[in-house]
Chain A
Amino acid sequence: MPFENKDNKIMTKEKKVAVIGGGFAGMTAALQLAEQGIKVTLVEKEAAIGGFFPLLDNTFPTNSCGVCFLSPKQPAYCPFVECRLHENLEIKVNSTPLSLSGEPGDFRMTLAVTPNGVDQDKCIDCGKCSAVCPVNVAYEFSEGLEERSAIYKLYPKMVNAGYRIDSENCTKCGACVEICPTKAIDLDAFAVTEEEITADAVLLTPGFSLVDSGLKGEYGFGRYKNVVSSRQLERMISFSGPSLGKPVSPADGSAPKRIAFIQCVGSRDNSCGRGYCSSVCCMYATKQAMFIRERCPETEVVVYYMDLRGMGKGYEKYFNQAKNEHAVEYRRSMVSTVKEDPKTKKLNLVYDSDAGFSQDTVDLVVLSLGFDAPKIDFAADIGLELDEYGFCRTAEFAPTLTSKPGLFAAGAFNGPKDIPETVLEATAAADSVIISLGALETDSNNATDALPVEPTHPEEGDVWIEEPKIGIFLCSCAGTIAADIDLDTLCAELKKRSYVACAEVVDNICTPEGLLGLRHFIGEHELNRIIIGACSVREMERSLDAFAEKIGFNRNAFVVTNLREQCLFPHAGEPEVINGKAKALLNASYAQVFNNLPAPAVTVSVTDRALVVGGGVAGLKAALSLSARGCQVTLVEKDECLGGRLRLAHYTLEGSKPSELLNSLIPAVEADNQIEVLLKAEITEHLGRVGRYTTTVKLADEDDSRSIEHGVLLMATGGQEAETSEYLKGQSEKILTQSELEKQLATTPEQLHDLSEVVMIQCVGSREDGKREYCSRVCCTHALKNALRLKEIAPECKITVLYRDLRSYGLFEDYYRKARDLGILFSPYEVERKPEVTASGSDLSLSYYDQILKQDVTLSPELLVLSVGVEPGDFSELAKTFSLPLDEYGFFAESNSKAALVDFVGEGRYHCGLASAPLHIKETLIRAQAAASRAATVLSRKEIKSTKNMVIVSTRLCSGCGLCVDACPYDAREINLATKIAEVHSELCHGCGSCAAVCPNGATQQIGFDKGQMMAVTNELMR
């Protein structure tokens, strides 16, 4: 057993977590954990991490990429680059977990490691092997749209090696072995080996797979060439794809004039064992449709769907954009068959419309494939419960915990979800993991700081005013660069330039040995400026930063010259050109480094306290999460008691009791001596910057205001059920909101026994122009849960739900089906033709157009229930006090609607709960944990070090004009009212240089990109 004695404790002090699956969820959680000092092993069964990400050029709802924002430290590269670069993160590819056993603190996992014939350490990614390979087979990545050789990359965009051999199709001709310059290929190295890894906790993020494209035979995939899967279309609309971003008809390569999307292929379909909704297909089909319309305006696009499901805050707008701006046509109808005209290869769709069965002839049919649950072989062995579909079973109020302690789960494994939700859930899972690791420490009776202590480093050298002593180091890159560039001659030439103390060729600077050599030269020549001529700065910067930090060298004193990616590779076979360019680039770097003024970093200490505003479920959960990590928390609530809207909830669709959640959260918060609760509190002032905020709170019971010093801020100020006067609400006691009905169902069910006719109307005031344009997300499931409960109480009661799109997304679909099976009637209405309600005396009459009967129906409901939607509280004052941005609907605005949904722009301030968006309780808990986790990455640092390439200001030149203040997106520039100088707040500066660019006097200069430097560089380049 670990933790039994002190020695063991020290050995296991470093916490290890295994993350299984390197898709979005895995990468997010791994980065989040690694950033907080946990050692992470990221296990991926494929040859590279990334999951579905490499397939997607652009994702909804922004139609851009932007996933780099999911990294905890901004700005960042794309997550799979970040994962590779992080010092606490080890990636194991080609590794499939065979078995998992053990208990929290002591898990052992056996991995089957399948070598792929290429030694990744030796491979220099020259591509010669796949060029000589005689094999041509269908490329799985695009489901056969392209071809590949037997030695190939898993996906084309893979950086740094990544070649693998497909042993099934390899003819073992040996051509690649012969041509490989580094002898990296071994055609016999395919024997599977087993490897055991250990971990204190395991996070399962195995993701999903798309259903088989041929699953629904009636759509003709595989038989008709012009029927393609959404995966193939995604590849077509990718700029790196075979058709360069445009759709083509595979039969003849022509541009399709009319394209039909068929939704729900393999989703919401019990006939193929997949009763759940895959949650993302409506959105991704819309995205694909928009891209097609944008790039091929002459192509018509029609989407055949059952319910349009886009439940995120901005998703409704997205659909409207597709409909109104891009003229994508949506038809609510399932296509029954697809038939090909053998001559023209056009496709004939049969579908049900207002006029009976209709036909549509199109050039291309796209099947929107749903999700399949992943296969987990060891689930039964370790006691991991899965649901009937194979998704992980988690408790509603502990959404990232599995049935087995110490095992956590996130992402599509917990049920289909899109990227934003996956990112949130993975961040929340990281929080759960860290808290559990802290608990392990406490259990062992050796309680110390649960969070790892950062190693201390020597102070950064103050070299910027010293006379330059330049060292130039050219990397041979295991002979790759040296083969084509005459490094020795370059060194000899560069050495002649003034202030160059040494110019050397080094083997593999990126390796520890290479860096050791560098260190030796720095010491010998007392260097204070360094040029590295090697691969891209992007490959080098992290190892150079870490190296500089370790030896106390200035991070900004390095200039990297890109001799490989931007010089050697793109001009292959032209040695003269390459050498000339290398020389020019190195001379430019000389000019840059010679004029460099590498000012030392500035640090700001962090106050170890979080301020949580709002004592509802989101605030409570976030406070507990932060406290469990050892952070001090002040929780401020304007009401006289904690609990917020959760006090008004009685039961959930999944059968949990909100009161139980409340009864666990509130006493836990009250008993926690690290959480200070302030009730009846009003916030009057908020000042400061990340790491050091001061907020003034006025308590109703106290005369004096309190001043709270804190390092981070979490806004969890909640939302509310919207009010309405539509459908005669307020004029009859028989008209209720869903919440009002829920209360009656829970407290006075006996009064509802005799009901015989109840009608529910969805989307009241939601999803309409001029009202609330967004979808409130929870109302459909709210209606389902009330309808089901009512059916239990009054089985004979006829319940009709009038809806626009029934959004029982993901695994909620099962409840929708159950409701239909119980005889609850669901009938869609169009917003142009809403139901009409009239009252005569106390009787209600409701009429609506029934789309199936194709006629008007009149009902006399005894109860009319309105799903009125969710709206944010009135945050205008709060937003002003905290100077925080609100979105167009009045919720707090996120910094990135895909990858940073709980973050405000810049570090240190976060939001969660209904203040962010309409959410279920479960989703609120996830966001609360995610926000806590993001906040903890700030608090876990003792101090915030200024970014590399920070800007500095010459007080002599600054005129205090304030242009820089406007240019800065992070509020890092501020005019000091006393001195009239535009100061830089180092802890907020992200080092973008926007302010330096607008400074009319050159008073603001960005370190490393000084204007003098840039001028010298262009001068040198154009010599």
Chain B
Amino acid sequence: MSDSKFEPRIVGFLCHWCTYTGADLAGTTRQQYPAGIRIIHLMCSGAIDVVYVLKSLLDGADGVLIGGCHPGDCHYQTGNLKARRRIALLRSIMDTLGLDQERVWLRWISASEGRLFAETIREYDGALQSQGQNPLADEWDL
């Protein structure tokens, strides 16, 4: 665990209209962030099924980031709020899996907030660095 070269693996479920586009902007504005993030594109953060998050964690992801539009900006009215409710519920049961709640982050990042996206990834990477590897990563061999 104390491996200084530990590079957290993050799965990012990002909504098409805001955060995914924000991630694009981070790229075009040449913001640099850790490469451990793997982005999965969803149409709306409201389409996130907690099973995807759990599956990612069981597959060995050190963290899962769900990115959506700011409240009020959701392209599908309230999908982001649905995600918020679902993720709050998920986080509340994560203890029982032996996982820290902070392994799942939900963040609102708009299409114009490329800088915020890069910052969020850096921050998350840092937080996961100090948390260490996902304890389930080695235990599951599917």
Chain A residues proximal to chain B, CB less than 8 Å: 57, 62-66, 68, 74-78, 125-127, 156-157, 159-160, 239-240, 244, 536-539, 562, 564-566, 568-572, 574, 577-578, 580-581, 584-585, 588, 895, 905, 949, 967, 969, 990-994, 996-997, 1006, 1009, 1011, 1014-1015, 1017-1019, 1021-1022
Using CB atoms, name the residue of chain A closest to B52.
A1014
B112 in contact with A78 (CB, 8 Å):
yes
Q: Say whether, besides A75-B75, A969-B77, A997 and B46 are in contact (CB < 8 Å).
A: yes
Q: Which residues of B contact A244 (CB under 8 A)?
A: 115
Distance between B117 CB and nearest chain A CB, rounded to angstroms: 9
B82: chain A residues at CB < 8 Å are 967, 994, 997
What does the 1/0 interface line of B70-111 toward A look like (CB < 8 Å)? 111101111100100010000000000000000000000011
Cβ–Cβ contact B78 & A969, under 8 A: yes
Write the nearest CB–CB distance from B77 to chain A, whole angstroms: 4
CB pair A157–B17 under 8 Å, yes or no, is no
- A1018 B52 Cβ-Cβ under 8 A: yes
A574 touches B24 (CB 8 A): no
In the bound complex, residues from chain A placing their C-beta under 8 Å from that of B131 are none
Whole-angstrom distance between the alpha carbons of A572 and B30 in the complex?
A: 8
For A997, list chain B residues within 8 Å (CB): 46-49, 82, 86
Q: Tell yes or no: B8 within 8 A of A by CB.
A: no
Chain B interface extent, by class: 35 or more
Is B67 part of the binding interface, using a Cβ–Cβ cutoff of 8 Å? no
Of residues B16, B24, B33, B70, which shows the largest number of chain A Cβ atoms within 10 Å of its Cβ? B24
Closest B-chain residue to A898, C-beta based? B72
Cβ–Cβ < 8 Å partners of A584 in chain B: 38
* B60–A1022 CB distance below 8 A: yes
Complex: how many Å from CA A581 to CA B10?
12
CB distance from A396 to the nearest CB of B (A): 34
A570 touches B31 (CB 8 A): yes
- Chain A nearest CB: distance from B26 CB in Å? 6
Inter-chain contact B26/A996, CB cutoff 8 Å = no
Which of chain B's residues have a CB closer than 8 A to the CB of A125?
Answer: 28
Q: How far is the CB of B61 from chain A (nearest CB, A)?
A: 6
Decide: A538 near B112, CB < 8 A? Known: A1021-B11, A1021-B40: no
Of all chain A residues, which has the CB nearest B50?
A: A997
- A570–B61 CA distance with the chains assembled, in angstroms: 20
Which listed residue, B38, B44, B52, touches A994 by the CB 8 Å rule? Answer: B44
From residue 10 to 37 of chain B, which have CB atoms closer than 8 A to chain A?
11, 16-17, 20-21, 23-33, 35
Q: What residues of A have a CB within 8 angstroms of the CB of B39 in the complex?
A: 562, 566, 585
Give Cα A453–Cα B141 distance, bound, in whole angstroms: 58
Residues of A contacting B72 in the complex (Cβ-Cβ under 8 angstroms): 62-64, 66
Q: A570-B27, A584-B38, A992-B44 are in contact. List 13 more A-B contacts (CB 8 A).
A: A57-B112, A65-B110, A74-B75, A159-B25, A240-B113, A536-B20, A574-B35, A581-B38, A588-B40, A997-B47, A1014-B52, A1015-B52, A1021-B56
For B21, the chain A residues whose CB sits under 8 A away are 77-78, 536, 538
A-B contacts counted at CB < 8 A amount to 175
**Residues on B facing A (Cβ under 8 Å):** 9, 11, 16-17, 20-21, 23-33, 35, 38-44, 46-49, 51-52, 55-56, 59-61, 70-73, 75-79, 82, 86, 110-116, 118, 142
Partner of B30, one of A157, A562, A569, A1017: A569
Query: Which residues of A lie under 8 Å from residue B73 when comparing CB positions?
Result: 64-66, 68
Take A1006-B43, A1009-B47 as given contacts and tell me if A562 and B24 are in contact as well, using a CB distance cutoff of 8 Å: yes
6 inter-chain pairs at a CB distance below 8 angstroms, sorted by A residue, are A68-B17, A156-B29, A157-B29, A992-B79, A1022-B9, A1022-B61
> How far is B140's CA from A870's CA once the two chains are assembled, in angstroms?
66
Q: State which of B16, B47, B76 has its C-beta within 8 Å of the C-beta of A969.
A: B76
Tell me which residues across on chain B come within 8 A of A569, comparing CB atoms: 26-28, 30
Please, how many angstroms separate the alpha-carbon atoms of A156 and B56 in the complex?
Answer: 35
- The answer on a CB contact under 8 Å between A78 and B44 is no
Establish whether residues B46 and A994, one from each chain, have CB atoms under 8 Å apart when the complex forms.
yes
With contacts A74-B75, A562-B39, A1015-B55 known, is A994 near B30, CB below 8 A?
A: no
A76 to B72, CA, bound (A): 15
Q: How far is the CB of A159 from chain B (nearest CB, A)?
A: 5
CA distance A996 to B86 in the complex (A): 14
Once the chains are docked, how many angstroms separate the CA of A57 from the CA of B46? 23
**Chain B residues, Cβ within 8 Å of A160:** 28
CA distance A149 to B31 in the complex (A): 18
Give the shortest distance, in Å, between B100 (CB) and chain A (any CB).
18
The reply to whether A240 and B115 form a contact with Cβ atoms under 8 Å apart is yes
CA of A536 to CA of B17 in the docked complex: distance in angstroms? 12
Cβ of B42: which chain A residues have Cβ within 8 Å of it?
993, 1009
With CB as the reference atom, state the residue of chain A lying closest to B112. A157
Taken together as a complex, chains A and B put the C-alpha atoms of A895 and B74 apart, in Å, by: 11
B75 touches A565 (CB 8 A): no
Cβ distance A78 to chain B, nearest Cβ, rounded Å:
6
With beta carbons under 8 angstroms apart, the residue of A127, A538, A564, A578 that contacts B20 is A538
Contact present for A994 and B113 (CB under 8 Å): no
Contacts of A536 in B (CB 8 A): 20-21, 24, 27
Q: Tell me whether A1018 and B11 are in contact (CB under 8 A).
A: yes
Measured CB to CB, the closest approach of chain B to A51, in angstroms, equals: 15
Residues of A within 8 A of B33 (CB): 570
Taking a contact as CB atoms closer than 8 A, the residue among A539, A1006, A1017 that contacts B47 in the complex is A1006
Q: What distance in Å separates the Cβ of A951 from its nearest Cβ neighbour in chain B?
A: 10
7 A-B pairs closest in CB distance? A993-B47, A565-B27, A569-B27, A1022-B59, A992-B76, A75-B75, A64-B72
User: How far does the alpha carbon of A377 sit from the alpha carbon of B48 in the complex, in Å?
Assistant: 54
Contact (A65, B38) CB under 8 Å given A74-B75, A996-B47, A1011-B51: no
Q: Which residues of A contact B48 (CB under 8 A)?
A: 997
**Residue of A with least CB distance to B61:** A1022
A169 to chain B minimum Cβ distance, whole angstroms, is: 22
The closest CB in chain A to the CB of B109 belongs to A239
Minimum distance in angstroms from A683 CB to a CB of chain B: 26
Which residues in B have their C-beta under 8 angstroms from that of A572? 30, 32
**Which of A239, A990, A1018, A1022 is within 8 Å of B115, CB to CB?**
A239
Give the residue among B49, B56, B71, B113 with the most A Cβ atoms within 10 A: B49
